[in-house]
Every structure is written in C-alpha cells, then in structure tokens.
Structure 1
C-alpha cells in the first residue's frame, strides 16, 4: 500500500455515490471500531478482552441543494409512505482522500438526515450513517 506521502488538504476530499461525486459537500467523518468482549477471570489483576466484529459509522455535511440528484435521493430516502425504503442499503459509496487514488469504500445505511436553516446562513444538511458489511481501503 503506497498511500499519500504528504498531508492532504480537505478541499480535495470527496464523497462519491456510485461514480458521481455528491455536489456541495463540506466534509465527512469515518469512525472505525472493533467490538471488545471482556474475558477477565477471578484472580486477574488486569482486564482481558477478546476481539469481536469490526464496524464503521460516520457522517457527512453539505449545503442543501435538492436539485442535485444525489442529495435529492438522500432526502427521498426519508420521505414518502415507506421511509427508508424498507431498510435499503446504499451501495458503492466512496470517501476519496485525493482524486480517487486513496479512498475507503463500502455500503451503508443512512440513519439520520438533518436539515439546518439559520437566518444568517445557507441551508445545510448532515447525514449520519452506519456501514454495512466489509469496508475497503484502496491506496495507490
């Protein structure tokens, strides 16, 4: 894995749905974790653990522009007679660090889609998600 050899500026990072970058995004966060189950026994002086399942959660933010196809699809995911499309997974999401050479990819469920309107600012959104199945880091 080669990867970047210098710090990366956040302005070049993108969120890609399929092959289309989601427009008007401000940033994203990925939180990877591993479940730990305590396996300590009586007589131990220190806690012991066994490793469980890995997972990812995160969020992304942006300026709300519902004329953008990808943003409209996210908003529609939570509206209508059957919100969340019966728990449909959004596949093929990519979180690019720089021009598609270093990125994390996987499937996810959008848990919340928050819209924020303030008198002195543009309307923004925040999408929180939980990863589904394996996520992959590609670094060239």
Structure 2
C-alpha cells in the first residue's frame, strides 16, 4: 500500500490480483507447475478487465504474464505489451524489503508508469522509498 500511496493512488483505485489463486505452503515462490495451473484464470481475469496498464510486481508475475525467463532486472524500466495493455515490470514489495538498494529503481519504474498515464509523479523519491 505504501507504493500506491507514494504514487498518489488510494488502494480502492487499483485492482490487485495474484498469479496464483492460493498461497503456496510456507509462502514460498510458486513452482512452474503451479503458475501453469493458474495461468488461464489470471489471463481470463485480465481479458475481462482489459486494463490499459498492468504493473507486474516481481519476477513471478512478469514471467507468468509475458511468458519470458528474462531476469526482472532486464525487464524493468520500460514498457512491454500484453494484448492491448501496456505492461511495466518492477520489483515485488517483499524483494524491496530484503533489498532496500532496489527501491530507487522501483520508484523510477513507478514514475515512468505515472508519466505515461498522464499523471504528475510526486516530487522527490516518494513516501516509502527512503
């Protein structure tokens, strides 16, 4: 929620969904089989919603949506396309907690998204990015 607030959004203005419809045991990273089993569900959700923008938080979401094994570090910082949606990939909030040095890159990604949406990014690094 801090990332959303830093961008000037309220939680109720953003639709958040997960690749998996259930949490893997021990909150571990989902296996390729688990992602494959849920792919049709989240893709159908996105087809129905048809959002102009999708922000993939983390490598699991990026790989599942874009169908790539490219590292997140190479996917972030630019737009991709899924059907008619513009897709921006950035770091998962849990990753940022473990790797605070990546917060600056994540904030730059979110500012890129805001500018493309025609919104003015907040000045500075934004709340929750220090």
TM-score between the two structures when normalised by the length of structure 1: 0.22
Larger strand percent: 1
Larger helix percent: 2
TM-score between the two structures when normalised by the length of structure 2: 0.23
